[in-house]
Structure 1
């Protein structure tokens, strides 16, 4: 509340009163970039050709579909416009992007992006050097702006709808994450508007994507997960269909937070709860208790289960009609992507379940197989994992979550005999052969890259190169651009590929650790050699580690002590102190007032001196 600010003089004003009113909406799609993925930078100015795209192609994508599908889509669009007439005032729906169990998503043109709305709340303030700058870069005046209009079906649970919108609002400013432009309801119709992300079906590129593009894929994905987890949000449904990746630009966006949940640590763990702590800021995935701390009852049950594993089939199994009360835990997600703790019905889950799902996607890339796990239920899913991990490892994981695991299936080894590296090499014998550069995929679509044969060195840029400055500064992922790695350039393509594979296998072991408390966090994943940018050279302004670009949760970061959320209204506000002893309090919207890296937010950027920033720095 405002009276808590003890200052000589307080002036309360609405933030940016000179701008048009914001409905917490409207947007700019960033996926309509130049095919080279170029984005402007502060030094180069806002050149329109950096944003050019073939708008006629985007408007006519519906014509590429069959006449029957076109007719079906047009009928759906007409039905939506009839039931939500206010859509026609602001958007022109031109195609359907996809359908799902709970919603359909359509492509539309924002008719008033340039003249009606204040788009700052969802654009964010990502610096030009950030891989998420595409979210903040404004569109040139007069250029068409595309959005994704999500129509949530009337059969959806109202609480699920409320939760999804609340989570999207909380994730404003997160990198590589679908940004909420606006949402509204007309009777039983609920519509959510987000920026349009150009992407290609995962099945069309996962076997042919070059290693630099695979790294770009996971840098984007883990940056999205890091920012969401920092806000105590678990996505719960990470899979290729929910990560919109453009292999031409190397940009990806995490979408569909319909199953997302919040991390709510258990205060007083009941008897029989998991043998690990709840997630904390210091330990995002919790900490395992020492084995000696395990209750005697849990140890005895696991010993009994281990004994059953040696029995005949008529003595091992589970009751078809079990009268005992069922364990209750959030099991939301897609089969084949659920982490072991979800299958064991852990009641104290963390962002580790998203990291596991991301690891399974990396398995698809490396093995060239999709999908890999196709169980019909949780029991089959546990059996699939046990054939790889072994019974002993599964018993340990079960005990970690106060469960037991018993099986006498002959194909399940007692000890783990197959590492993730062995698993990949068995399914993909050609994994050690580097893929030839493909000019249709990032980074070979960038102007500074000349596709070369697998045995040909890619020459480094020199200061005399006409593209050495502008192309690097314009690249949307220049802070993670693999060809600038001096270590990589000193290796032959074959050696570079082997070096990448070695790091990839170590990375797999970290993100697919069946023990949730030992699994790599999203932040640690971004600092792993497999994803770390430009290993082997001094980082430049564009090549700093991920901590330099992370958007802090509201109220954290260099100026977090000057941010406040009203206890009654829930409105966020910021206090700006001036040298003359006065201050102003700005009532802001979600998405504003976010400190990035070691920099203060946009409200304090010019009023906090460097000494104060360093003093209040809360980087982790």
Structure 2
């Protein structure tokens, strides 16, 4: 199946998506070391952090490193409180290259919205030169991949309910989290405590109450300096009344920028400047080995792409510039889809086109094309794919339903093997295999499920999977609405009949 956009895409820098996570199935209780026997590399990292931010050693005994991402590392620290008891904290060390405005915005999100409604708060912040450490309460939690095979439907319902509560709370402040996924929604199964963490990729809506998010999203005409830093990444110079040659400098800089864009076009394969074309002309280079003047004359699309692959909404994958809180709701829908089907991760793709193809195999090609048109994007699909019935899909993947003759599950989502805890590990097919005609892959999975079916059915009946109400799949359908304008909001979802007794 071939999928393309009517406009050319480009790749933006990859964002981080790792947060504090547990490295044990059963974390140690508070007041006890979570891990023992630190590796030499971890010990070196702890020593490096202690030297970079010496104030930490006066307050915390750093026990271990419990998480690492592209732009931060998380450590477990133990502090002696005034009343004599010891308390654990998560110490998030941001890499020195993080932009000061981004760090300050994350702190402001934690300060304003954190500490209630299942949103993690902030306790303190240390800064030494360009090193920043955010101190947060430590919460024991289990990784979803470790428990998904043993969760009951009642636990799944509570999990989604509390996730939607956290989203409703931050959306009221005009915060778009942009990286909703299980690793960022900590879950303590034993005490039923939840916490939304990591606002490192957060953006603000047009009416956001987080002042610094206005600077990051370009909502403020004159961004305020943070920590005394200047923005050195902008191509547009800042006029200065004290500089007599400011006009000449601006002219020279604009000339360099235009030359850079011209050389970029030359590297793309066109040695001649693009000719002016009349607006409204359709592209005629589709499925050819050349780039027409219509495409060359179009402005480069710029839209946020931040987020974790597999959880990005269709409007993010198609680079729609108008993105709102609905992208967080879509990610919550993907999580619910994983929980109901027992497949995590449900979607796994190496690029945006493959990710969109996997969504089409579930939601349908005609529906995706129609939804994309509502937010100004044209998606072309070479094969017509019908939408999947969500109940049938989830029950088949969970092993509660046998496929009838002629019925199939998208090969991109077919189960390749099973995890030891009874769940499944999905390995999506390549983009070239994204059709509904790979019967062999699904048949092998079905035979494996049939051998385990008696034991699985007894266990799932006890966990309530034999009586999942229709309301669960109705809510899933609303959360995975391809059109962000009609997608249910977090506040509306909390009023859904699925949660009527909560």
TM normalised by structure 1 equals: 0.52
Q: 1:102 aligns with which of 67, 71, 92?
A: 71
Q: 1:518 aligns with which of 477, 480, 486?
A: 486
1:235 maps to which residue?
Answer: 177
Change (3 A) 1:98 1:319: farther
Q: 1:424 aligns with which of 368, 371, 394?
A: 394
The superposition leaves residues 150-191 of structure 1 with CA deviations (integer Å, 9 ceiling, x where unpaired) of 000113233322221122222134311110111121012111
1:250 and 2:170 correspond: no
CA contact 1:176–1:221 (8 Å) conserved in 2: yes
Equivalences for 1:469-618 in 2 at 5 Å? 497-533=465-501
3-state SS, counterpart of residue 93 of structure 1: strand
Change (3 A) 1:55 1:71: same
- Displacement of 1:149 in angstroms is 0.5
- Displacement of 1:98 in angstroms is 0.7
1:332 and 2:300 correspond: no
Change (3 A) 1:84 1:389: same
Equivalences for 1:229-378 in 2 at 5 Å? 229-264=171-206, 314=287, 323=296, 324-378=298-352
- Displacement of 1:144 in angstroms is 2.2
1:201 maps to which residue?
Answer: 143
The superposition leaves residues 324-351 of structure 1 with CA deviations (integer Å, 9 ceiling, x where unpaired) of 3222211110111000111122222211
The superposition leaves residues 331-389 of structure 1 with CA deviations (integer Å, 9 ceiling, x where unpaired) of 11011100011112222221111111011111111222222222222222222222222
- Displacement of 1:431 in angstroms is 7.0
CA contact 2:152–2:465 (8 Å) conserved in 1: no
Change (3 A) 1:455 1:80: closer
1:88 maps to which residue?
Answer: 57
2:164 maps to which residue?
Answer: 222
CA contact 1:238–1:337 (8 Å) conserved in 2: yes
Structure 2: which 5+ residue stretches go unaligned? 1-21, 209-279, 403-420, 422-455
3-state SS, counterpart of residue 518 of structure 1: coil
- Within 2, Cα distance between the matches of 1:317 and 1:494? 60
3-state SS, counterpart of residue 373 of structure 1: coil
- Within 1, Cα distance between the matches of 2:203 and 2:308? 15
- Displacement of 1:77 in angstroms is 1.3
CA contact 1:244–1:255 (8 Å) conserved in 2: yes
Change (3 A) 1:245 1:431: farther
CA contact 2:361–2:387 (8 Å) conserved in 1: no
1:152 and 2:94 correspond: yes
1:62 and 2:32 correspond: no
- Displacement of 1:315 in angstroms is 6.2
Change (3 A) 1:395 1:73: same
CA contact 2:30–2:87 (8 Å) conserved in 1: no
TM normalised by structure 2 equals: 0.64
The superposition leaves residues 46-104 of structure 1 with CA deviations (integer Å, 9 ceiling, x where unpaired) of xxxxxxx8446x32x321xxx5x522222211211111111122222111111111101
1:174 and 2:142 correspond: no
CA contact 1:390–1:417 (8 Å) conserved in 2: yes
- Displacement of 1:196 in angstroms is 0.5
- Displacement of 1:108 in angstroms is 1.0
CA contact 1:216–1:251 (8 Å) conserved in 2: no
The superposition leaves residues 120-157 of structure 1 with CA deviations (integer Å, 9 ceiling, x where unpaired) of xxxxxxxxxxxxxxxxxxxxx54322111100011323
- Displacement of 1:233 in angstroms is 0.1
- Displacement of 1:494 in angstroms is 7.5
CA contact 1:97–1:107 (8 Å) conserved in 2: yes
- Displacement of 1:498 in angstroms is 4.8
Q: 2:43 aligns with which of 74, 78, 83?
A: 74
CA contact 2:372–2:483 (8 Å) conserved in 1: no
- Within 1, Cα distance between the matches of 2:128 and 2:466? 56
The superposition leaves residues 422-458 of structure 1 with CA deviations (integer Å, 9 ceiling, x where unpaired) of 33233222279xxxxx9xxxxxxxxxxxxxx9989xx
- Displacement of 1:221 in angstroms is 1.1
Change (3 A) 1:55 1:239: closer
CA contact 2:153–2:463 (8 Å) conserved in 1: no
- Within 1, Cα distance between the matches of 2:372 and 2:54? 53
- Within 2, Cα distance between the matches of 1:400 and 1:197? 42
- Within 1, Cα distance between the matches of 2:484 and 2:29? 45
Change (3 A) 1:320 1:512: farther
Structure 1: which 5+ residue stretches go unaligned? 1-30, 36-52, 116-140, 267-299, 433-437, 439-452, 457-491, 535-620
CA contact 2:182–2:335 (8 Å) conserved in 1: yes
More helix by share: 2
The superposition leaves residues 386-408 of structure 1 with CA deviations (integer Å, 9 ceiling, x where unpaired) of 22222321222111111111121
Change (3 A) 1:321 1:155: farther
- Displacement of 1:259 in angstroms is 0.3
- Within 1, Cα distance between the matches of 2:292 and 2:305? 21
3-state SS, counterpart of residue 472 of structure 2: helix
CA RMSD of aligned residues (A): 3.3
3-state SS, counterpart of residue 148 of structure 1: strand
1:397 maps to which residue?
Answer: 371
- Within 2, Cα distance between the matches of 1:533 and 1:320? 59
